[in-house]
Amino acid sequence: MRQRALTRRVVLRGTAAAAVAASVAGCSGAGPAPGAAPTPRPPDAETVLLTGVIADKEQMVALYRQAARANAKTAARLQPFQQRHEAHLAELRRRLPAPVPPPAGTPTPWASAGGSPSAAAVSIGTLRQMEGKAAAARVRQVRTVSAPLAQLLASIGACEAAHAAALARPR
């Protein structure tokens, strides 16, 4: 069998045939065009949920800070609750894969209560209600997430329920 000499024309035909075959097979350029910005993928459902829970926790910490401004005795009573919320925030943020803007339209536990309380209206009773709503939200949230995140949310919800019970006790 006689071997053909490899000429430029043969190489160009082979390259053209390979390009046509790749495009027909759906393998042409899987990535974006050179210089084009990659299309961002939407965040997964757990990331969206985590972002919402983090926003809820940030709001709860802000409420505790507002309530603590009432007087030193109230501040001392609320400090352990606030510290636990801050610990929850740290763990939730640790699990967030990348910074994601808060999802639009994600309800917070206090959204159904007509918005977050104003700075002047934050009382122990208000905190107790917010804790109860947050704990109830965690029960709904654990149904839709992975087991590790469900465990964390269940623990946070149990803590929030304990807060609600502790805040109901008179001091």
Q: Give the distance from CA 128 to its chain's centroid.
A: 24
Report pLDDT digits (tens) over 82-106: 999 999 999 999 998 765 455 555 5
More confident residue, 17 or 35: 35
H or E segment to which residue 93 belongs:
helix 72-95
Give the sign of the dihedral formed by CA 84, CA 90, CA 93, CA 95: negative
- pTM, rounded to two decimals: 0.67
Map 23-49 to HEC letters. Answer: HHCCCCCCCCCCCCCCCCCCCCHHHHH
Single-letter amino acid, residue 98: A
